[in-house]
Amino acid sequence: FGSSCPWCASSQFVLWAMAAQLEGSKPSFVSRLSTGLFSRLKVGTPLYSLGYGVAGGILLSGLVLAGRTLHVAFFDHDYYKLQSRKRYYEKQLLFTREQEESASAHYIAALASEYDPVATRMPFKPLDPKYRF
């Protein structure tokens, strides 16, 4: 144990004693489980192929995501076309609303020109003031 520190020497002895004790004991549940799992993950087994496919799929989908991100960031010009079309549509919509308001105003003016308050009074009665302009 070649250490000059008494604490280090005693801790090394304890570790050596524990290792010697473990050599004679049976393997723990976790070590048996991991050994069984790794024996089923050898090259050529179905579980290995499945894991390999999953890892490849994750890698491929990551590359596709990175490619799409780069395409949108640097090469996507459809956004500008769509924005231009939206602006044109908004202008067209505002023009149409103005035309409808104008037509509605002309219709109301035509109705008002035909308005005859005398026709709203009862026969042989005076005209009610609420029907006058």
Say what the pLDDT of residue 1 is. 46
pLDDT for 109-132, tens place per residue?
998 888 777 777 788 888 888 877
State which amino acid sits at residue 31.
Answer: S
C-alpha 123/C-alpha 133 separation (Å) is 20
| pLDDT at res. 19 | 61
Token couple for 81: 């076309």
What is the predicted pLDDT for the residue at 119? 76
Q: How many CB atoms lie within 10 A of CB 37?
A: 10
| pLDDT of 63 | 98
Mean pLDDT estimate for the chain: 82
Percent of the chain at pLDDT exceeding 90: 39
What are the tens digits of pLDDT across the range 65-105?
A: 999 999 989 988 888 899 999 999 999 999 999 999 999 99
Q: How far apart are CA 93 and CA 101, in angstroms?
A: 12
Chain segment 12-62, per-residue pLDDT in tens: 666 655 665 555 567 678 777 888 777 777 888 888 899 999 999 999 999
- The letter for the amino acid at 48 is Y
Provide the residue ranges of all domains of the chain, joining segments of one domain with +: 9-76, 77-133
pLDDT computed for residue 124 by the predictor: 85
Q: Distance between CA atoms of 118 and 22, rounded to whole angstroms?
A: 116
Q: Nearest-CA neighbor of 3 among 16, 20, 21?
A: 16
